[in-house]
Amino acid sequence: MTVRELKEALGLTVFCAGNEDAEVTGGYCGDLLSWVMGRAEEGNVWLTIMSNQNVAAVAVMTDISCIVLTEGVKPDDALLSRCETEEINLLGTGLSTYQAAAELAKALAE
Protein backbone atom coordinates (compact mmCIF):
# COMPACT_ATOMS: atom_id res chain seq x y z
CA MET A 1 0.00 0.00 0.00
CA THR A 2 1.24 3.48 -0.83
CA VAL A 3 0.78 6.67 1.18
CA ARG A 4 -1.72 7.83 -1.45
CA GLU A 5 -3.80 4.66 -1.05
CA LEU A 6 -3.64 4.96 2.73
CA LYS A 7 -4.76 8.57 2.57
CA GLU A 8 -7.78 7.57 0.49
CA ALA A 9 -8.61 4.50 2.60
CA LEU A 10 -8.62 6.42 5.87
CA GLY A 11 -9.86 9.76 4.50
CA LEU A 12 -6.82 11.58 5.90
CA THR A 13 -6.33 15.35 5.69
CA VAL A 14 -3.27 16.41 3.70
CA PHE A 15 -1.27 19.17 5.40
CA CYS A 16 1.76 18.63 3.20
CA ALA A 17 2.29 16.22 0.32
CA GLY A 18 5.69 14.64 -0.26
CA ASN A 19 6.26 11.41 -2.15
CA GLU A 20 2.79 9.87 -2.01
CA ASP A 21 4.02 6.80 -3.90
CA ALA A 22 6.15 5.81 -0.89
CA GLU A 23 5.37 2.27 0.27
CA VAL A 24 3.78 1.87 3.71
CA THR A 25 5.51 -0.91 5.64
CA GLY A 26 3.56 -0.76 8.90
CA GLY A 27 3.07 1.75 11.67
CA TYR A 28 4.46 3.16 14.89
CA CYS A 29 2.58 5.15 17.54
CA GLY A 30 4.51 7.44 19.86
CA ASP A 31 5.10 10.98 21.07
CA LEU A 32 8.49 10.60 22.72
CA LEU A 33 10.91 11.28 19.90
CA SER A 34 13.71 8.95 20.94
CA TRP A 35 11.33 6.02 21.19
CA VAL A 36 10.30 6.74 17.63
CA MET A 37 13.96 7.09 16.60
CA GLY A 38 14.76 3.76 18.17
CA ARG A 39 11.70 1.76 17.17
CA ALA A 40 10.05 3.09 14.00
CA GLU A 41 11.11 1.27 10.86
CA GLU A 42 11.75 2.55 7.37
CA GLY A 43 8.46 3.11 5.54
CA ASN A 44 6.31 3.11 8.69
CA VAL A 45 3.37 5.44 9.20
CA TRP A 46 4.09 7.46 12.34
CA LEU A 47 1.01 8.26 14.41
CA THR A 48 1.58 11.08 16.88
CA ILE A 49 0.06 14.10 18.61
CA MET A 50 3.41 15.97 18.58
CA SER A 51 3.23 18.89 16.18
CA ASN A 52 6.48 20.85 16.54
CA GLN A 53 9.22 20.94 13.91
CA ASN A 54 11.40 18.34 15.63
CA VAL A 55 8.84 15.86 14.34
CA ALA A 56 10.05 16.61 10.79
CA ALA A 57 13.67 15.99 11.78
CA VAL A 58 12.76 12.60 13.27
CA ALA A 59 10.77 11.73 10.13
CA VAL A 60 13.82 12.50 7.98
CA MET A 61 16.22 10.51 10.19
CA THR A 62 14.02 7.42 10.37
CA ASP A 63 12.91 7.35 6.68
CA ILE A 64 9.28 6.79 7.64
CA SER A 65 6.74 7.05 4.79
CA CYS A 66 4.45 9.62 6.42
CA ILE A 67 3.46 11.39 9.63
CA VAL A 68 -0.19 11.22 10.68
CA LEU A 69 -1.23 13.75 13.34
CA THR A 70 -4.07 12.14 15.27
CA GLU A 71 -6.81 13.46 17.59
CA GLY A 72 -7.46 16.42 15.27
CA VAL A 73 -4.06 17.96 16.06
CA LYS A 74 -2.91 20.61 13.57
CA PRO A 75 0.77 21.19 12.72
CA ASP A 76 2.35 24.43 13.90
CA ASP A 77 3.69 26.75 11.16
CA ALA A 78 7.29 25.71 11.69
CA LEU A 79 6.49 22.00 11.27
CA LEU A 80 4.44 22.68 8.17
CA SER A 81 7.16 24.77 6.58
CA ARG A 82 9.82 22.19 7.49
CA CYS A 83 7.75 19.41 5.91
CA GLU A 84 7.36 21.47 2.75
CA THR A 85 11.12 22.01 2.53
CA GLU A 86 11.93 18.36 3.16
CA GLU A 87 9.00 17.04 1.07
CA ILE A 88 7.60 14.99 3.94
CA ASN A 89 4.09 13.55 3.81
CA LEU A 90 2.23 15.22 6.70
CA LEU A 91 -1.32 13.99 7.15
CA GLY A 92 -4.00 14.32 9.81
CA THR A 93 -7.09 12.66 11.23
CA GLY A 94 -9.73 13.36 13.84
CA LEU A 95 -9.47 9.75 15.01
CA SER A 96 -7.74 8.91 18.25
CA THR A 97 -4.28 7.37 17.97
CA TYR A 98 -5.77 3.99 18.92
CA GLN A 99 -8.56 4.20 16.34
CA ALA A 100 -6.19 5.42 13.64
CA ALA A 101 -3.78 2.55 14.37
CA ALA A 102 -6.65 0.06 14.20
CA GLU A 103 -7.80 1.51 10.87
CA LEU A 104 -4.23 1.40 9.55
CA ALA A 105 -3.85 -2.23 10.53
CA LYS A 106 -7.16 -3.05 8.84
CA ALA A 107 -6.17 -1.23 5.65
CA LEU A 108 -2.79 -3.01 5.54
CA ALA A 109 -4.43 -6.40 6.04
CA GLU A 110 -6.81 -5.93 3.10
Partner 1 sequence: MADIVFEYQVDGSDYHRAGEASRSTKSNLKKLGFPSDIIRRVGICMYEGEINMVIHADGGVAKVVIGLDDITIILKDKGPGIPNIDLAMQEGWSTADAQANDLGFGAGMGLPNMKRCSDEMNIDTVVGEGTTVTMKIKTK
* Interaction site with partner 1 (CB under 8 A): 31-35, 37-38, 42, 50, 52-55, 57-58, 60-63, 78, 86
Of the two residues 14 and 57, which places its CB atom closer to partner 1 in the complex?
57
Of the two residues 10 and 44, which places its CB atom closer to partner 1 in the complex?
44
Between CA 6 and CA 58 the distance in angstroms is 21
Q: What are phi and psi of 101, to 5 degrees?
A: -65, -40
Min dist. Cβ of residue 64 to partner 1 (A): 11
**Cβ 28 vs Cβ 41: under 8 Å:** yes
Between CA 6 and CA 33 the distance in angstroms is 23
Of the two residues 33 and 107, which places its CB atom closer to partner 1 in the complex?
33
